[in-house]
Structure 1
Amino acid sequence: MANRDRSFVAWRKSSHSNGGGECVEVAAAHGMVAIRDSKAPKAPHLVTTAQDWRSLLSAVKRGMLDR
């Protein structure tokens, strides 16, 4: 996803979203994952490796980031 035009990417958000537009959306392609704010889809977004994304999700699910 080094290409700046990511229009080919299918963005997804959780089925648990409340519909208020306050969601994180993710898209995966070519071993990378892009993360963006659903309220600002044209704004810059984060891009990470699929492995790092899986590690983050695992940490969240285990409560390692809870305060």
Structure 2
Amino acid sequence: MTANPAGWRASSRSQNVSSRLEVGPLRTGVAVRDSALQEGDHITASAEQWRLFVAAVKAGRFDR
């Protein structure tokens, strides 16, 4: 997946942060970038990888 997403969005929970992750939809998954580096590279994940990541976040697997 090397295409650029049509539109980027950030979590509504990160509105008061100067640098945050943004997610953009792709035909076969998503792209993720740092909002401070909008002209830089992004990483991609398949739809299944993204679903598993979101499920892990919701389950608290990354909580400290």
TM-score by length of 2: 0.83
Q: SS state of the match for residue 16, structure 1?
A: helix
Name which structure has the greater RCO, CA cutoff 8 Å, separation 6+. 2
Matched, 1:60 2:46: no
Which structure has more helix as a fraction of its residues?
2
Which structure 2 residue ranges, 5 or more long, are not aligned?
none
The number of residues matched between the two structures is 64
Which structure 1 residue ranges, 5 or more long, are not aligned?
none
Q: SS state of the match for residue 35, structure 1?
A: strand
RMSD: 1.6
Alignment partners' CA distance in 1, 2:31 and 2:60: 23
Percent identity over paired residues: 36
Question: Aligned-pair distance for 1:18?
Answer: 3.2
